[in-house]
């Protein structure tokens, strides 16, 4: 929510170039550099060390975990699984010291070397660590290495007593890193069923229902293994709306399997008759399994979301305010196809520009924006609030923030990611809409992945402004051709020496994407368009 007074964009003296400037520097910050500063603040807020320090602390003889107090007596055990868990585990071990007995974490194949090469030594465990690191899930798919890690985690949890505390660290990618099919189901059988369901259009909720029913650890299974120990899960969310039962399929969230629902899903997608006998046996065994079994030990389980897209946007808002912008958060849950999302941002920029003219914003434009809500996952109340701020803050500097995870329809064979494609599509929208508006507007758009990896590229995302399309054509580049081939990375690499790409390197965290629109205040001067496109 926006608060405070509208004001002109502030200027900050740079001592060094921020992320991705390729060595450039200017005396005064432009919209490009300000956008990078805001994005940097968003990512910094959800780095493992910062999140863990805010959620885990020793105070005298007490251990504080997400606001809850425990008496540590050398009885803390740790398990973790996910793409960002290694950094979380390293921070936890520094905080816990000798109170940590042992730990096991399941992390993606090659992550230790990748972090080492990225200069992220603080996210690696030392040679004397009490935590065992097991790598697996090549290409983000469950494999035998991940199964061995899951087995080690299950063994640790199963050996705990009522005197112990199990600290569970969870982040995105945790489901593939914790495969534990219920015997006699094999990993291959479970994977095959999941692929068939996905290919026939099953929703993520339906997939998770079957995954949990066929797993020893998902759907609260890990918490049941740890009973009667106290279980505290610290979760980094990469899922829209942060539902803990969906993040890594909820291994510490009591969720009893419903056999009737499972059979109904299989019937719906025509898979009931072709099921392996092992799957039939496990599902048949669920009949009569009551709620009490599914929720065993639930009173000793505490799940806390310690990192999320909303947290990142909060930090971005604070930095934008420091730079002289009025921040307004549209939504941390933007979804839908990038074509629709880019259209929304283009319409919002046009609305902002028209709101600054004497005529005011047209009702038809407002209706068009509100009509897009269902396509992009943004409720009417959030859109109405944003439109109200855009109208009231005439002439002031604004930073419109949102986050989420839009999707890209793959049609070509180019190289790119959803953030770079979104930025290019927004650039096209800006070129089509801003030039004909009654009030000139200095505007820049940025879309970046908080993990620092946008698709199979070395970029986190890209920056767009109203000059991208004309500049590209002057350099012999046709944005439409690159979009048709899903080749946004090649486009931004070739455009003006790649200076609009955002390159952060591997960050060690992931709370989906951050989008921001910077609109320059009228006091910034009549050269707003030029300032938006040069750094």
Tens-place pLDDT, residues 299-318: 789 999 999 999 999 999 99
Q: In which residue are the tokens 């092992």 written?
A: 278
Assign 25 a pLDDT band (cuts: 50, 70, 90): very low
How far is Cα 53 from Cα 49, in angstroms, rounded to an integer? 6
Q: By the 8 A CB rule, do 352 and 519 touch?
A: yes
Confidence of residue 287 (pLDDT cuts 50, 70, 90): low
**DSSP string of 158-199?**
HT--TT-EEEEEE-TTTTTT---BPTT--HHHHHHHHHHHHH
| C-alpha span between 150 and 388 (Å, rounded) | 50
Instruction: Give me the residue label for tokens 């930095």.
Output: 319
pLDDT of residue 529: 38
pLDDT band with cut points at 50, 70 and 90 for residue 386: very high
Lowest mean pLDDT among 91-95, 246-250, 430-434, 491-495: 430-434
* Number of helices (H), then strands (E), in the chain: 21, 15
403-418 pLDDT per residue, tens: 999 999 999 999 999 9
Can you give the length of the chain in residues? 535
CA quadruple 490, 491, 494, 499: dihedral, nearest 10: -110
Residue 502 CA to residue 186 CA, distance in Å, equals 42
Residue 17 pLDDT > 50, yes or no?
no
Q: What is the pLDDT of residue 395?
A: 79
The dihedral region occupied by 413, where left means phi > 0, alpha psi between -120 and 50, and beta the remainder, is: alpha
Least confident among 22-26, 367-371, 386-390: 22-26
Instruction: Give the tokens for residue 385.
Output: 């609030």
List Cβ neighbours of 15 (8 Å cut-off, separation of 6 or more).
Answer: none
DSSP of 456-515, one letter per residue?
SSS-SEEEE-TTHHHHHHHTT--HHHHHHTT-HHHHHHHGGGGTTEE-----S----EEE
- Tell me what percent of the residues of the chain surpass a pLDDT of 70: 87
Mean pLDDT of the chain: 88
Cβ–Cβ under 8 Å, residues 217 and 178: yes
pLDDT of 345 over the 90 cut: yes
Distance (Å) of CA 48 to CA 38, 43, 57, 141: 19, 10, 14, 23
pLDDT of 533 > 50? The answer is: no
| pLDDT tens digits, 74-103 | 899 999 999 999 999 999 999 999 999 999
Peptide bond into 184 cis (omega under 30): yes
Residue 93 · residue 125 · CB < 8 Å? yes
Give pLDDT, residue 295. Answer: 52
């Amino acid at each position: 929510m926006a608060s405070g007074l509208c004001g002109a964009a502030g200027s900050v003296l740079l001592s060094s170039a921020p992320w991705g400037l390729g060595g450039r520097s200017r005396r005064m910050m432009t919209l490009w550099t300000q956008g990078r500063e805001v994005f940097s603040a968003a990512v910094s807020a959800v780095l493992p060390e910062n999140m863990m320090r805010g959620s885990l602390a020793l105070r005298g003889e007490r251990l504080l975990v997400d606001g809850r107090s425990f008496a540590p007596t050398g009885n803390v055990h740790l398990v973790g699984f996910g793409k960002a868990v290694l950094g979380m585990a390293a921070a936890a071990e520094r905080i816990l010291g000798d109170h940590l007995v042992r730990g096991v974490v399941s992390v993606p194949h090659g992550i230790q070397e990748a972090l080492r090469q990225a200069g992220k030594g603080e996210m690696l465990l030392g040679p004397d660590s009490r935590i065992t690191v097991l790598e697996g899930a090549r290409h983000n798919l469950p494999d035998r290495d991940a199964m061995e890690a899951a087995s080690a985690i299950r063994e640790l949890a199963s050996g705990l007593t009522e005197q112990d505390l199990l600290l569970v660290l969870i982040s995105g990618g945790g489901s593939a890193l914790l495969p534990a099919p219920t015997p006699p189901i094999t990993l291959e059988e479970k994977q095959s069923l999941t692929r068939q369901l996905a290919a026939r259009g099953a929703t993520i909720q339906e997939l998770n229902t079957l995954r949990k029913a066929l797993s020893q650890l998902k759907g609260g299974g890990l918490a049941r293994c740890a009973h009667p120990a106290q279980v505290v899960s610290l979760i980094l969310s990469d899922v829209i709306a942060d539902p803990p039962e969906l993040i890594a399929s909820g291994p510490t969230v009591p969720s009893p399997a419903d056999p009737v629902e499972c059979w109904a899903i299989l019937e719906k997608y025509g898979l009931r008759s072709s099921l392996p006998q092992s799957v039939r046996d496990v599902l048949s065994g669920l009949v009569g399994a009551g709620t009490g079994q599914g929720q065993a030990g639930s009173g000793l389980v505490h799940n806390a979301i310690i990192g999320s897209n909303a947290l990142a946007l909060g930090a971005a808002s604070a930095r934008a305010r420091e730079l002289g912008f009025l921040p307004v958060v549209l939504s941390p849950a933007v979804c839908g196809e990038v074509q629709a999302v880019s259209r929304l941002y283009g319409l919002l920029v046009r609305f902002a520009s028209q709101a600054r003219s004497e005529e005011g914003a047209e009702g038809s434009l407002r209706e068009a924006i509100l009509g897009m809500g269902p396509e992009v996952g943004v409720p009417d109340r959030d859109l109405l609030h944003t439109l109200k701020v855009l109208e009231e803050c005439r002439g002031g500097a604004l930073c419109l923030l949102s986050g989420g995870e839009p999707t890209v329809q793959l049609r070509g064979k180019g190289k790119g990611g959803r953030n770079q494609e979104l930025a290019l599509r927004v650039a096209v929208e800006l070129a089509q809409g801003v030039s004909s508006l009654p009030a000139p507007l200095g505007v820049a758009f940025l879309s970046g992945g908080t993990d620092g990896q946008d698709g199979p590229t070395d970029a986190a995302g890209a920056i767009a402004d109203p000059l991208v399309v004309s500049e590209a054509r002057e350099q012999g580049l046709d944005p439409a051709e690159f979009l048709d081939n899903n080749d946004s990375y090649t486009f931004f690499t070739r455009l003006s020496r790649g200076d609009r790409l955002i390159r952060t390197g591997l960050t060690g965290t992931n709370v989906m994407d951050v989008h921001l629109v910077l609109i320059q205040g009228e006091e910034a001067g009549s050269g707003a368009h030029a300032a938006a496109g040069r750094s």
